[in-house]
């Protein structure tokens, strides 16, 4: 069965009073992906980058969110309304 796993920047420092936080760089995310692949017994089918919204469900430790790092991308959805997205790595694999 084909499955996938998303890897997004983790929070490295929380902002004061719920303000913007700081996050891992994209290269740190790629390093995490490489470690995960090395430590699992999966067959990698494809690795791609995807831009996902600031609230990601099902990513394991639930510390993902809007980033102020170089992976941050504001995306305009309509009439000047933007949602905050960031660059992630998606690994498609077979167990």
Q: What CA–CA distance (Å, rounded) separates 25 from 22?
A: 9
pLDDT band at 1 (very low <50, low <70, confident <90, very high): very high
Q: Which among 2, 3, 6 has a CA at the least distance from the CA of 85?
A: 6
pLDDT in tens, 6-48: 898 887 777 777 666 677 888 999 999 999 999 999 999 999 9
pTM of the model: 0.70
Rounded-to-5 percentages of helix, strand, coil across the chain: 15, 45, 40
Are 88 and 4 spatial neighbours (Cβ–Cβ below 8 Å)? no
pLDDT in tens, 15-24: 777 666 677 8
Q: What CA–CA distance (Å, rounded) separates 90 from 95?
A: 16
């Amino acid at each position: 069965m084909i499955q996938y796993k998303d890897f997004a920047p983790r929070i490295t420092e929380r902002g004061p009073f719920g303000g913007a936080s700081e996050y891992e760089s994209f290269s740190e995310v790629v390093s995490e992906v490489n470690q995960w692949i090395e430590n699992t017994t999966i067959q990698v089918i494809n690795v791609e980058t995807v831009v996902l919204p600031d609230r990601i469900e099902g990513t394991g430790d639930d510390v993902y969110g809007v980033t102020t790092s170089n992976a941050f991308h504001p995306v305009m959805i309509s009439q000047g309304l933007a949602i905050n997205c960031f660059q992630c790595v998606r690994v498609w694999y077979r167990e």
